[in-house]
Amino acid sequence: MTTCPAWEQSLLLKAIRREPTPYTPVWLMRQAGRYLPEYRALRSKIPFAQLCKTPSLCAQIMVQTVQRLGVDAAILFSDLLLVLEPMGFPVEYTAGEGPVFERPIRSAQEVDRLQELESLEPLAYVLEAMRLTRAALPNHIPLIGFAGAPFTLASYLIEGQGGSNFRYTKGLMYSDSGAWRAMMDRLARAVAQFLLAQIQAGAQAVQLFDTWAGCLGPEDYRQYVLPFSQAVIQAVESAAPVIHFSTGNPALLPLIREAGGQVIGVDWRVRLDQAWQQIGYDRAIQGNLDPAVLLGPPELIRQRVQQILCQAAGRAGHIFNLGHGLLPDTPVENVLILVDAVHQLSQRPTAASRIPSESVSLGSGSDQMPPELA
Amino acid sequence: MTTCPAWEQSLLLKAIRREPTPYTPVWLMRQAGRYLPEYRALRSKIPFAQLCKTPSLCAQIMVQTVQRLGVDAAILFSDLLLVLEPMGFPVEYTAGEGPVFERPIRSAQEVDRLQELESLEPLAYVLEAMRLTRAALPNHIPLIGFAGAPFTLASYLIEGQGGSNFRYTKGLMYSDSGAWRAMMDRLARAVAQFLLAQIQAGAQAVQLFDTWAGCLGPEDYRQYVLPFSQAVIQAVESAAPVIHFSTGNPALLPLIREAGGQVIGVDWRVRLDQAWQQIGYDRAIQGNLDPAVLLGPPELIRQRVQQILCQAAGRAGHIFNLGHGLLPDTPVENVLILVDAVHQLSQRPTAASRIPSESVSLGSGSDQMPPELA
């Protein structure tokens, strides 16, 4: 007889299933990253790509980070773009500018330079990192796998790098919908396959990152992006729950929800209560502190955590996170303050441990503590 | 007895006042820019900063652009950042990277390096460009003045350049609200003074560009930005109508409206009908085509113009524009197609010239032509 692993009753998986939890689970995008001195020490000895390809180090850095921060979930230490290497696009990680493709796709004719992902063998190191991380983590800490969404991967392939006005991506998308569909289909198949393999290797949930989707309006998202993200999510969701994350455009949230995901990740551009209302309460929500708040003083951090928790209103199904990755110059002590604040301020009173009912007031009327948290 | 100048009955000013117009007025941000061969020819002989400081050329390039495109408004040829030069921040316009400040403000202590704008004398060339442009334009074409909003100017001063994660700006904003307020107050006073002088020199309306406001969430916008943009608008709006433009976060629109502006400029991240509903129909609206659509085929351009016009539903008070500036590699013929499409597809039928009532269907049900346009 097999017993149910401890992670099944973890705060994260309960929140994903919208079951009540004694307090709100929290993890942070880029929680193992450059803001950590031990990470910088490691990186001074080993380049980023090599680190990603050394499973034992990937596992070590994530496990020690989870312990140090006291967060409620681990995420695979890896990179969005590695899946593109066996598809014909080796990535250069430059010092200051982030990842770069030397020869981006700039025309419909070039789309076939992106090859079908025929085998996961070249990505075996990612799956090994997953297995080692899962094995090294305590059983009550769930492990999240991840991949870039087709649009975000396509943007990198076409722009050659991140964040710009996305004119090459949109230019190709508008000019040749056949080539666009071929490329997005290929990416969707690769991503689905990769995520399923991550789940088999030990992930309890997966996050689909559509980091750049926010450069699009609703019409474009619906026409050129939604079907492909939906295909990925439908292929994966029976194996493990999907967190569907995007950033940059709150007006897309109803469509992001339509594309799928048991959890919808939102950034700080919208109030969490309004976001949840638009998404619908039949989905869990993840977010949504501006990572830049962690550059401010401790009082501000606690105040903003409180506001987000109040907006979540004690409803089951909230996973606390940032709206985007931790910034490299974030003080570690502020990250610890954040994690503690989420845990403390979200305590649900039980009959045994009720908190004295003094009213806690922070800021404007609409951010008052709801009665069940006061 | 003075007669009312022709521009008072121009399509733009009627739309600003939400009066009906025979068709929808259109102008385009960066309509005189690098996508035009004649502009590139001029720029090959004269650097950008020098061009901005040569009023006769500023007037010439805008007047010839308005004639060539057939748009319904001119905008001063100038740059957002020039107002900062007499405040102690000379701008470097680099070839590939856009404007850059060599020594950005990186701490609260440095905020006083930004000096009060004591006199408009150093900006006399801008006002002269305004006078010459007004004098050279036909009377029925209104001329728009403009300035950067305090937050967008502050972001440039603090980041040293545009578009990033705005971590220095937010870091300062969160860490020292006193220094932040002092800087924003100084910028608001300078911008208000500058816009009033532009109106005196011949502008019929002014646009306040809050290009980077979209990096903020609603709470931050309300606390750190709204009061200062509001101060500018309140100081200016009795002299001329204000178009309040921002980009990057549709969730801010109700607050942008609260800060003021007779017209609210919106980008393509949100449907125009939803944006207008959120803003309220007691304001005019400007927007909102994605400039990247102009990199696509003519059919797509016409289709997207039609969709936006359908979303405006023939309501008085819509000014057609892009959601951000024209991209440098836009084909000129596509810009002409756009302007023609707006004019043709927005014709309001009169008793004398009614269009046959065949139903015109384009795309999804909610984008059907409203009866008055069909």
pLDDT at A163: 66
Q: How many angstroms separate the CA of residue A219 from the nearest CA in chain B?
A: 8
Rounded average pLDDT over B23-41: 97
Length of chain B as a residue count: 374
Q: B195: Cβ–Cβ under 8 A, 6 or more apart, which residues?
A: B145, B146, B147, B206, B208, B232, B236
Cα separation of B105 and B94, whole Å?
19
pLDDT, position A1: 52
Distance in angstroms (rounded) separating the CA atoms of residues A49 and A84: 13
pLDDT in tens, B42-62: 999 999 999 999 999 999 999
**What backbone torsions phi and psi does residue A265 show, to the nearest 5 degrees?**
-90, 130
Chain-chain contact of A290 with B217 (C-beta, under 8 angstroms): yes
Tokens describing residue B145:
């003045």
Position B218 scores a pLDDT of: 98
- Residue B79 falls in the annotated catalytic set: yes
CA B308 to chain centre: 18
Please report, to the nearest 10 degrees, the dihedral formed by the alpha carbons of residues A72, A76, A81, A85 taken in order. Answer: -170
- For chain A, 374 residues long, the average pLDDT of each consecutive 10-residue run is 84 98 98 96 94 97 98 97 96 76 92 96 98 98 98 95 87 96 98 98 98 97 98 98 98 98 98 98 98 98 98 97 97 98 90 44 41 36
- pLDDT confidence tier of residue B356, bands split at 50, 70 and 90: very low
Q: pLDDT digit string (tens) for B209-259?
A: 999 999 999 999 999 999 999 999 999 999 999 999 999 999 999 999 999
Confidence (pLDDT) at A4: 86
Give the count of beta carbons closer than 10 Å to the beta carbon of residue A173.
Answer: 27
Q: How many CB atoms lie within 10 A of CB A262?
A: 19
Inter-chain contact A218–B270, Cβ cutoff 8 Å? yes
User: Average model confidence (pLDDT) for chain B?
Assistant: 92
Beta bridge partners of B92: B100
Mean pLDDT of B309-321: 97
CB contact under 8 Å between A217 and B249, yes or no, is: no
Q: How confident is the model at residue B350 (pLDDT cuts 50, 70, 90)?
A: low
Residue with tokens 């107050």: B185
Q: Kindly state the tokens that stand for B134.
A: 């007004």
Provide the ipTM: 0.91
Amino acid A99: pLDDT:
76
Say whether B175 and A295 touch across the interface (CB within 8 A).
yes
Taking the Cβ of residue A301 and every Cβ of chain B, the question of whether any pair is shorter than 8 Å is answered with no
| Cβ–Cβ contact B162 with A under 8 A | no
- Cα–Cα distance between B304 and A159 in angstroms, integer? 24
Optimal mutation site among B107, B174, B177, interface A, most CBs of chain A within 10 A: B174
CB contacts of A219 in chain B (<8 Å) are: 271, 304, 307
Kindly list the distances between the CA atom of residue B141 and the CA atoms of A101, B91, B147, B196, B203, in Å, as whole numbers in the listed order.
47, 31, 20, 20, 11
Does the reported pTM lie above 0.80? yes
Q: Helix B150-159 to helix B167-175 angle, to the nearest 10 degrees?
A: 110
pLDDT value, residue B162: 74
**For the residues of B52-105, what is the DSSP string, one character each?**
HT-HHHHHHHHHHHHHHHT-S-EE----GGGGGGGGT-PPEEETTTEEE-SS--
Q: Please choose, from the candidates B43, B24, B111, the residue with its C-alpha nearest in 3D space to the C-alpha of residue B288.
A: B24
- Res B99: pLDDT: 76
- B107, B113, B116, B120 alpha-carbon torsion, rounded to 10°: -130
